[in-house]
A and B are shown apart, each in its own frame.
Chain A
Amino acid sequence: MVLELQKPRPIWQIMFSTHHTDIGLLYTIMSLTFLFMGGALALAIRVEMFSPGPQFIADSMTFNRIFTVHGTNMIFLFLLPFASAVGNYFIPIMVRYKDMAYPKLNAIAFWMLPPAAALVWLGFADFGWYAQPPYSAISAPSPAAEMWIFGLKIIGVSSILGAINFIVTILKCKHPDLPLSKVPLLGWSFLSSSLIVLVAIPTFAAALLMLLTDRLGVTGFFNPAMGGDPIAYSHLFWFTFHPEVYVLVIPAIGMMYEIIPRFSRKPIFSHSSGVFAFVLLSIVSFASWAHHMYATGMSFTEKTVFMVGTLAAVPASAMHVFNFLATMWGGRAKYSTPMMWSVGGIALFFSAGAGGVVNTAMPLDFITHDSYWVVGHFHLFVFGTIAFGSFGFLYYMFPFITGRMYNELWGKVHFVLIFIGAVLVFFTQHILGLYGMPRRVFDYPEIPEWIAMNQIQAIGAVLLGVGMTIFLVNLIYSSAKGKEANMEDPFGLGGKYYYPYQAKNPHHD
């Protein structure tokens, strides 16, 4: 195990290591760094929107760049690397192998991310995280757009390398005594999400290159002035990024599958139903991409097909919720911080799913599309579900990364503040969307309901900011001065943990 703070070693030894726990640590630190940077941008957006008229952000261009980098950063530089962190720590232990299948490839996949992050942050592009042409092809300023394109290209390659590594580790390196069906659900979640990455990402990789050549003026794939079609980009983009939502959600659900039975002190209600739901979800995730595009002028038949495809993803998600509730039912639950995050995450996952059913019902989509409703809806997924699962899991991993316990009280305060803040911001956004406020606007007219709801959101955002500050202080203080953890059973739950401290790091001999 790592235990860096108890047995310090030179930083270059971690940086140039190929051991899975070291790379897990690098992923953890990187993803948390970008979480706080992206969070600062979100806070800036919400404070700016406190009332009509410019507050402190000078112009709309700056504002547009801020929401673009916020979105890109949170998805690709926080959520995705955090999932890789968890996978790196846990997958080799869960399949009882000494390391990832390809340790050097693992290190390469990580080290592609910092240059990509630099491109995204230093470029500070302005076209939103989906870079919709023709705007991104003919209008968006250089060199920010090109830097974003290259940054995303690198992140895509890194994701594919990481996915190959997880798939081979799970399928080929697992212990011969361990049948695939008995691999823990966290392992299954990484297998499913990695397979989705392999199928989904190449489409966007191609679209990025086409966008780049369009910007250079040598092609016109997405430029109607040259005979191209911008809607073709939307199809290529969402064919990758609707499944990508599941790439993020599935590992977060896997993390909850690790936490909920352990803190309920009861075995999982149904392992096989969890496996089935993961596999089903990864297949169905490819049947719904164009539900993002109803308003682009799709025919009635196309819309119907994608509505059915989208609704088909709901039962699998509902099976997970059922599995969690049935596991907690009658258990002796201990509501430590990781458990609180998981339960809160399930509640918001359910709300997000219910909102998704509304979005996909064709007539209702034309009410919610591109309004603040959509912003609220997907934040309930990416923040309410995925980030909640990730925070809970970070608290869960904390003792065996540092050898110390985090402060339990402040962990719970963090949860309460974030939960209230998330409800204030994201539920309000749903209602604001029904009142017709478009997303991605720098300023808005003085409509009393809009002003009131933006102010509620700003208050919620400040609560989120305070909560995240407490989180950061707790992490730093506790990793240096926290109580020493009982490494056999840090949460006092009994039973056997899948704990990375069992992993032998050659540098610690």
Chain B
Amino acid sequence: MSGHSNWSEWVYIGVVVALLAWVGAEAWNIERLVEHVPENAEVIKVTGQQWFWTFEHEDGTKETGELHVKKGVPYKFEITSKDVIHSFNIPDYLVLMDAVPGRINTVWFLPVDEGEFPIQCREYCGLIHYNMRGTLYIEDGA
């Protein structure tokens, strides 16, 4: 470089690269664990359409706008859409996955607290996107 010492810049770049490598490695490791679906997970088929959610349980029961699950049971969502792209989101459980027509995306979660939690659409899908909401009911399985 232009004659003067640049050791400070090299140290700084080294620190930045080390930090990034750490973030990347941690993210890689955690995502690998998070994406590992438990074998005993029950499948719930989730379908988004303008502008509501429908759910189909393994036993064939269907729900619209409401989803009832049991505490302590892992669930695997198989998410798709009938029209445009939506995004299935349970903010309190950090569940987020796009509902893409023509594709089935999966994500899983383990309900741990009883109660009611909001379900919402996180991808702009038109007129009533803002109110494409549902409710998750987590009930005691015993």
Contacts and interface: CB of A to CB of B under 8 A. Distances in A.
Contacts of A326: 8-9
A36 B31 CA distance: 43
A297 B103 contact: yes
What is the interface of chain B mostly: helix, strand, loop, or mixed? Answer: mixed
8 contacts: A295-B87, A307-B28, A311-B24, A363-B34, A366-B96, A367-B96, A438-B130, A445-B118
Given A224-B101, A370-B122, A272 B32 contact: no
A314 B20 contact: yes
A436 B92 contact: yes
Contacts of B102: 224, 229-230
A304 B30 CA distance: 12
Interface centre among B13, B34, B122, B129 (most CB of A within 10 A): B122
A409 B66 CA distance: 58
A76 to B, nearest CB: 19
A183 B104 CA distance: 52
Nearest to B8: A326
Contact of A135 (B31, B125, B131): B125
A134 B101 contact: yes
A300 B122 CA distance: 21
B84 A134 contact: yes
Contacts of B97: 295, 297, 366
A347 interface: no
A487 interface: no
Nearest to B94: A367
B103 A231 contact: yes
A501 interface: no
A322 B8 CA distance: 9
Given A135-B84, A319-B13, A363-B27, A311 B126 contact: no
A449 B63 CA distance: 30
Contacts of A300: 31-32, 35
Contact residues on B (Cβ < 8 Å of other chain), bracket: 35 or more
Nearest to A127: B124
Contacts, number: 154
B41 interface: no
B23 interface: yes
Contacts of B130: 60, 438, 440-444
Contact of B2 (A135, A231, A270, A304): A270
A138 B16 contact: no
Contacts of B30: 362-363
A369 B16 contact: no
B96 A295 contact: yes
Given A135-B125, A270-B1, A311 B20 contact: yes
B83 interface: yes
Interface string B87-127: 10101101011101111010000000000001011111111
Contact of A61 (B16, B101, B127): B127
B73 interface: no
A306 to B, nearest CB: 11
A369 B101 contact: no
Interface in A469-507: none
A86 B31 CA distance: 44
Contacts of B4: 270
Interface string B62-98: 0000000000000000000001110101011010111
Interface in A307-325: 307-308, 311, 314-315, 318-319, 322-323
A135 B124 contact: yes
A318 B120 CA distance: 37
A204 to B, nearest CB: 18
Contact of A362 (B28, B91, B94, B101): B28
Nearest to A318: B16
Contacts of B61: none
A300 B105 CA distance: 13
A362 B96 contact: no
A64 B126 CA distance: 8
A262 interface: no
B26 interface: yes
A273 B16 CA distance: 16
Interface centre among A230, A363, A440 (most CB of B within 10 A): A363
